[in-house]
Chains A and B, each alone.
Chain A
């Protein structure tokens, strides 16, 4: 049928870690956002793997909702990024410290 679920879970953990490290390391806001997408995909992979391992369609239903939320999140997030870049071009995350108290 297919490979054991542990392999998929390990791969998902590695993908999540790469996304998290990228989110911490990069300073370009757009690339940081892409790293968030990587982490979301890692979690989706975990859900689908558990859905197969436990013979349960609920995991796949949840991935469906995660996809919807991710799409909405990307739209709003990119809107915020565009609004920020309107004010100051070429801003990295370090330049956005005007919100501090």
Chain B
């Protein structure tokens, strides 16, 4: 860790981090524990705002703005739209546990994973010391300028491919959600239409008889 910032953290930094950490964690726990999906979505907004604050605290101004606009603005609104559209805004019975013992196992597994992450990150070296090709995040210029220079030069092809990805996502979403088109009026289709009521009628006759 050659480039850890050696500047002393002020009380304001500690306070901002503590407040944001409390917001992030309480929002995350709210997502997991709220029985109503609408409350879960609102808790998710809380977490996303907390993460945006942590982005600002680390100098990632552009990403914080995008986080608030795209995530807390667009994605959560999309979630709420779907919740209202399919009408699952009623509370789920959280206590019902179809698979016995799965929840304690999940919590234990999560705690083990957390302990592993923390232990491994304490004992391992994060950086090799080699400079990357993306550019520095400190130095003159604003965060937006440096991020834009990185994305539009070094990662230009990846950026262009994201546009393809977005088009595919839009087409896929429309295809998935669209209602199936009505049966075209061919001769076969007409035959089917006339055959279906007859079949139904015969079934009804048989049931009645």
Contact = CB atoms under 8 A, between A and B. Distances in A.
Interface of A: 1-5, 7-11, 13-22, 24-28, 30-31, 33-35, 37-38, 41, 44-45, 48-61, 63-65, 67-76, 78-83, 85-86, 89-90, 92, 94
A5 B114 CA distance: 17
A60 B133 CA distance: 13
B113 A83 contact: no
Given A13-B117, A30-B83, A61-B151, A55 B3 contact: yes
Nearest to B143: A60
Contact of B88 (A13, A78, A90): A90
A68 B4 CA distance: 29
A78 B79 contact: yes
A64 B117 CA distance: 24
B9 A18 contact: no
Interface string B74-106: 110011001101111000100000100011001
Interface stretch (B21-29, B191-199, B201-209): B21-29
B103 A89 contact: no
Contact of A45 (B9, B32, B54, B78): B54
B75 A37 contact: yes
Most buried by B among A30, A44, A85, A90: A30
B200 interface: no
26 contacts: A8-B17, A8-B54, A11-B24, A18-B28, A21-B110, A25-B32, A28-B88, A31-B31, A34-B41, A37-B75, A48-B54, A54-B3, A56-B137, A60-B60, A64-B147, A65-B159, A67-B63, A68-B166, A71-B166, A74-B79, A75-B172, A76-B173, A78-B79, A81-B82, A82-B177, A89-B86
B6 to A, nearest CB: 9
A35 B33 CA distance: 11
Contacts of B57: 2-3
B82 A22 contact: no
Contacts of A73: 169
Nearest to B34: A31
A4 B144 CA distance: 23
B107 A60 contact: no
A57 B137 contact: yes
B48 A41 contact: yes
A55 B118 contact: no
Contacts of B154: 61
Interface in B114-128: 114, 117-118, 121, 126-127
B60 A56 contact: no
Given A72-B168, A76-B169, 12 more contacts: A8-B17, A11-B24, A16-B117, A17-B113, A34-B41, A35-B32, A53-B5, A54-B126, A63-B60, A65-B158, A78-B173, A82-B176
Nearest to A31: B40
Nearest to B122: A6
